[in-house]
């Protein structure tokens, strides 16, 4: 059986590895001429690790873990709102969250593909789904590619989503803009975690290689960029507690990533059309507040590979894709909504709401220490399909 996967992000690569491991001949068409380590860092959550375990790759990512100490949610003056013990997540979900560079996780995935599977510099321009007994055809700038299955994993601005679901409005601007950077760890003691203030958020995640992955988000109209993103970050966050100004100060000018955040407020009606499946941000772009975009892309991918992997003809593929849609559409829609709600809570611009939130979290954390983790159950306790 032949599959063409469009997009060599986390979702596309995980789907390609899963299908390859089940004996499929897989081609990954990626628009970029080379796989660059863009996107700074990400947190692989226990559900993402379970997805990677399905590919036999979970331990390779667990090895990327930094020391797991305590983390805290703080106010911009540094006062702690709530604290979580590094070991608590592991006790509850069997794994900690693994912060890593995107490049390191991508390397784990690409190393599991045959070297000739990746076709770089090939941009998809459209797709012909065809009739029930026809194979779908991918249209690219290097000519058409036919396969038994096409997987659209081409990210938030997916060309294939538009072709498959032209009636769907696509992702909408969330109102948030986000910055990401990788910097050398700042000197002195500090707690990793997130700081919330006046509608803004700043996150600090130490990595095993001695660097820190930091991110920031704020409200903004769409499409605003700055000639000096670092200076803009200092303007917004330079008065916040240690080590936030130091972290921004250590960023290489020009190496601060800045992206507006789009989300799929209206779910797609299905995650397939004919023998074309869609996954990851292409299907359900979400805000980064839950840190789940890539984790969900990998959940999609391993579910798809497990269901479609055994198929031997177009009828079995059709049955498997209907099951994929039934399992993943509600899951994707639920996580998009949860991430949006968390964003509204962490980035509220209302002072009374923020004050109430902080008090409730502080008190709740004392009475039920693992309350924040319990709230993560529906997201992180996911189990792969048998
Ligand atoms: C600030 C921020 C922080 C985040 N933090 C986290 C986190 O901690 N944990 C987490 O799980 N997620 C996080 N995310 C979300 C995560 O980055 C995305 O959800 C994830 O990268 C989506 O993976 P994907 O494979 O679906 O798409 P992508 O990673 O976007 O990959 C799509 C690929 O398709 C290629 N492509 C696009 N169009 C075409 C075409 N026409 N033809 C061929 N190839 C094409 C692209 O070049 C790209 O390589 C964060 C996002 C932001 C903005």
Q: What is the pLDDT of residue 289?
A: 93
Q: Is the CB of 201 under 6 A from ligand 1?
A: no
Neighbours of 43 (CB within 10 A): 20
Residue 262 vs residue 362, higher pLDDT: 262
Supply 226's token pair.
């700055």
pLDDT in tens, 35-83: 877 778 999 999 999 999 999 999 999 999 876 778 889 999 999 988 8
Query: CA 74 → CA 178, 203, 286, distances in Å?
Result: 19, 10, 24
pLDDT of residue 86 exceeding 90, the answer is no
Atom number, ligand 1, closest to the C-alpha of residue 215: 1
> How far is residue 359's CA from residue 28's CA, in Å, rounded to a whole number?
49
Q: CA 80, CA 203: separation in Å to the nearest integer?
A: 14
What is the structure's pLDDT at 67?
A: 67
Q: What is the pLDDT of residue 190?
A: 86
The pLDDT tens digits of the residues spanning 271-295 come to 999 999 999 999 999 999 999 999 9
CA distance 234 to 253: 12
Helices 293-308 + 10-21 axis angle, to 10 = 20
Q: How far apart are CA 242 and CA 240, in angstroms?
A: 7
**What does the block give as tokens for 264?**
């799929």
Query: Residue 331: its pLDDT value, please?
Result: 98
In this prediction, residue 219 carries a pLDDT of: 94
Q: Which two tokens mark 85? A: 């013990």
Helix (H, G, I), strand (E, B), or coil: what is residue 29? strand
| 234 — pLDDT class (breaks 50, 70, 90) | very high
Predicted confidence band of residue 106 (pLDDT cuts 50, 70, 90):
very high
Return the best residue to mutate from 5, 10, 110, 127 for the ligand 1 pocket (most ligand atoms within 8 A of CB). Answer: 10
- The whole-angstrom separation of Cα 275 and Cα 321 is 7
Q: What residues have CB less than 8 Å from 211, skipping those under 6 apart?
A: 101, 182, 183, 184, 185
Q: Is 380 in the pocket of ligand 1 (CB under 6 A)?
A: no
Q: How far is the CA of 116 from the centre of ligand 1 (A)?
A: 23
368 has a pLDDT exceeding 70:
no
Half-sphere exposure of 80 (CA within 13 A, CB side): 13
- Residue range 303-351, pLDDT digits in tens: 999 999 999 999 999 999 999 999 999 999 999 999 999 999 888 888 8
**Neighbour tally for 342: CB within 10 Å:** 18
Q: Is residue 39 within 8 Å of 102, Cβ to Cβ?
A: yes
Cβ atoms of 215 and 288 closer than 8 Å: yes
Predicted pLDDT at 69: 74
Ligand 1 center–CA 9 separation, angstroms = 6
Q: Which residue puts its alpha carbon closest to atom 2 of ligand 1? A: 288
Q: What's the chain's average pLDDT?
A: 93
Residues forming beta bridges with residue 195, ordered by sequence position:
74, 202
Q: What is the pLDDT of residue 130?
A: 86
State the pLDDT confidence band at 369, using cuts at 50, 70 and 90.
low
| Rounded percentage of the chain residues whose pLDDT exceeds 70 | 98
DSSP secondary structure letter of residue 313: S
Q: What is the pLDDT of residue 303?
A: 98
**Residue 178 C-beta-side C-alpha neighbours within 13 Å:** 21
Mind listing the pLDDT tens digit for each residue in 170-199? 999 999 999 999 999 998 888 899 999 989
Q: What 8-state DSSP symbol labels residue 66?
A: P
Q: How many CB atoms lie within 10 A of CB 269?
A: 11
pLDDT digits (tens, 9 = 90+) for 135-184: 999 999 999 999 999 999 999 999 999 999 999 999 999 999 999 999 99
Q: Is 89 in the pocket of ligand 1 (CB under 6 A)?
A: no
Q: What is the mean pLDDT of residues 84-108?
A: 89
Q: What is the pLDDT of residue 354?
A: 85
Report the C-alpha gap between 147 and 128 in whole angstroms.
11
pLDDT at residue 224 above 90?
A: yes
pTM over 0.85: yes
286: closest CA among 267, 263, 260? 263
Residue linked to tokens 């538009």: 162
**pLDDT at residue number 98:** 93
pLDDT band with cut points at 50, 70 and 90 for residue 89: confident
């Amino acid at each position: 059986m032949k599959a063409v996967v469009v997009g060599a992000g986390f979702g596309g690569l995980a789907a390609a590895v899963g299908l390859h491991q089940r004996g499929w001949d897989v081609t990954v068409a990626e628009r970029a001429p080379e796989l660059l380590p863009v996107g700074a860092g990400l947190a692989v959550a226990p559900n993402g690790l379970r997805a990677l375990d399905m590919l036999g790759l979970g331990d390779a990512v667990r090895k990327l873990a930094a020391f797991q100490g305590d983390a805290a949610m703080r106010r911009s003056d540094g006062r702690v709102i709530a604290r979580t013990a590094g070991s608590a997540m592991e006790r509850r979900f069997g794994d900690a969250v693994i912060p890593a560079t995107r490049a390191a996780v991508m390397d784990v995935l690409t190393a599991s593909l045959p070297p000739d599977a990746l076709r770089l510099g090939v941009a998809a321009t459209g797709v012909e789904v065809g009739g029930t007994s026809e194979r779908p055809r991918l249209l690219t700038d290097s000519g058409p590619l036919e396969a038994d299955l096409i997987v659209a994993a081409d990210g938030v601005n997916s060309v294939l989503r538009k072709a498959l679901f032209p009636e769907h409005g696509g992702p909408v601007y969330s109102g948030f803009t986000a910055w990401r950077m990788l910097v050398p760890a700042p000197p002195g003691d500090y707690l990793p975690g997130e700081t919330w203030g006046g509608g803004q958020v700043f996150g600090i995640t130490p990595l095993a290689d001695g660097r820190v992955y930091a991110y920031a988000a704020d409200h903004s109209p769409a499409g605003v960029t700055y000639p000096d993103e670092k200076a803009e970050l200092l303007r917004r966050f330079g008065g916040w507690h240690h080590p936030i100004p130091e972290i921004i100060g250590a960023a290489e000018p020009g190496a601060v990533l800045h992206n507006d955040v789009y989300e799929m407020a209206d779910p797609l009606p299905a995650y397939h059309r004919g023998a074309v499946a869609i996954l990851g941000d292409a299907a359900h772009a979400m805000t980064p507040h839950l840190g789940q975009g890539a984790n969900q892309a990998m959940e999609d991918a391993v579910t798809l590979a497990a269901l479609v992997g055994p198929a031997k003809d177009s009828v079995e593929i059709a049955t498997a894709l209907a099951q994929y849609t039934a399992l993943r559409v509600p899951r994707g829609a639920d996580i998009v909504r949860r991430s949006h709600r968390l964003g509204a809570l962490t980035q509220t611009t209302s002072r009374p709401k923020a004050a109430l939130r902080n008090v409730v979290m502080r008190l709740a954390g004392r009475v039920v220490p693992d309350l924040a983790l319990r709230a993560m159950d529906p997201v992180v306790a996911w189990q792969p399909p048998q």
